[in-house]
Amino acid sequence: METAPRTESTPAPRAPTVGATLWRERCLSPWSPVTVLGAGLLAYLPVVEYAPAAVAWAQPAMKALAFGCMLGVVTLSVLRMGTTRFARLRRVRHEAREALAEYVRLSGRAGDRASASAREELPRLRARLDEAYVQQDAEALAQSTAALSRAVDKHFAVHRRNGTVEFLLGFAKAFAIAMAIRTVAVEPFKIPSGSMIPTLQIGDQIFVNKFIYGVRIPYLNKVPFQAVRAPARGDVIVFENPNNPSKDFVKRIVAVGGDTVSIRNDVVYVNGQPLQRSRPEPYTYMDQDYRTGEWTSDKAFRFEERVDGKSYAVLQNHAESDASYRGGELVNVPPGHVFVLGDNRDNSSDSRYGLGEYPGALEHTSFVPVGNIKGKAMITWLALGHGGLFSNLFGGTGFNTERLFQPVR
């Protein structure tokens, strides 16, 4: 007796789910390239911080990612606004997601107290909404969303908080998350002056690492514990001016607590040893009048200075040493403080000059308490200074792509 050969049936294709549809929408949202850029930036920061040589390939890659994401945002935005039908579907989908979120929230709040009719009706209406969502039928989706919203109102009205309370709770959560990020992780800072030229240019927007020195308690200016390491010589830091708490400054640490510092004829001595310097070279840079916004060209001499193996560029107005800083006396940096200088040495209100709060009192040395340090400068994530794209349209101020994602050394 012969038997018929077995044939394997082709499995039916899996029907799309609401979850898959939501992920597809997220990928086609203009916010998806922004998310990709944020993820790339999170990976880029530790790479350039702890592997300085990697910047040679990491910075161009980060620039390419940024421009690709910008193009993606523009393209997806244009596509989303392209047709009236798509715009209506997008609006209905948003209303459906809100209705689903409210249903999940209130059903969880009601728990076992939900009535038998609610447990029977609401899952059925949600299933209908899910089906319309997957099919992307705007009319059916609008009807099923309205039906679910009416049923939620009928069964869960007693479990709904006051609208004002819901708004305030949502705002409080968002504010708490934003404050936690700014306090513990990363904070943006804009460079307002030329005191750190050539390291930082006027208009640079930088990210500040808030975690590396420890979690700082704002207003109390206390750091309960050290996270990664203590502030070190050569670090570029953002700090709250101890002589004027309303101002934030950015300077470079050249000495830490327990060090002795003296400056003789523009040469910095730390613990009796002069900081190594290269031969000065002529340098031209652009400065900006903070009152008029007008850009002017200034000349100085640029040289490389080294401290603890870290090399950075410094400017001074004279090719040779000049006794422009009165004193030269030895000062002791108190424990728990740092001594800071601007890289543009002859145009910086730093520890030599009371951090700008004691005009003319050149002998008034001011130190920065560690508790006032907000964090360490990491990268320039945006450069809106002199030159670059669109500078002809805005009085010389433009978008400088060369400085994009440049590490702060």
Active site residues: 195, 251
Half-sphere exposure of 45 (CA within 13 A, CB side): 20
| Dihedral in degrees, nearest 10, Cα atoms 270, 276, 282, 283 | -60
Secondary structure of residue 104 in the 3-state scheme = helix
Helices 116-135 and 84-110 meet at what angle, rounded to 10? Answer: 160
Per the CB < 8 A criterion, the answer to whether 99 and 125 are in contact is: no
Per the CB < 8 A criterion, the answer to whether 275 and 305 are in contact is: yes
Please enumerate in sequence order all residues whose Cβ is within 8 A of that of 268, keeping only pairs 6 or more positions apart, or say none: 254, 261, 262, 274, 275, 305, 341
What is the rounded distance in angstroms from the CA atom of residue 97 to the CA atom of residue 95?
Answer: 5
Structure tokens at 349: 């209100």
What is the rounded distance in angstroms from the CA atom of residue 178 to the CA atom of residue 22?
Answer: 26
Helix, strand, coil % in the chain, rounded to nearest 5 = 40, 25, 35
In the block, tokens 């047709």 appear at 83
Eight-class DSSP state of 194: S
What is the rounded distance in angstroms from the CA atom of residue 395 to the CA atom of residue 167?
Answer: 43
What is the rounded distance in angstroms from the CA atom of residue 144 to the CA atom of residue 153?
Answer: 14
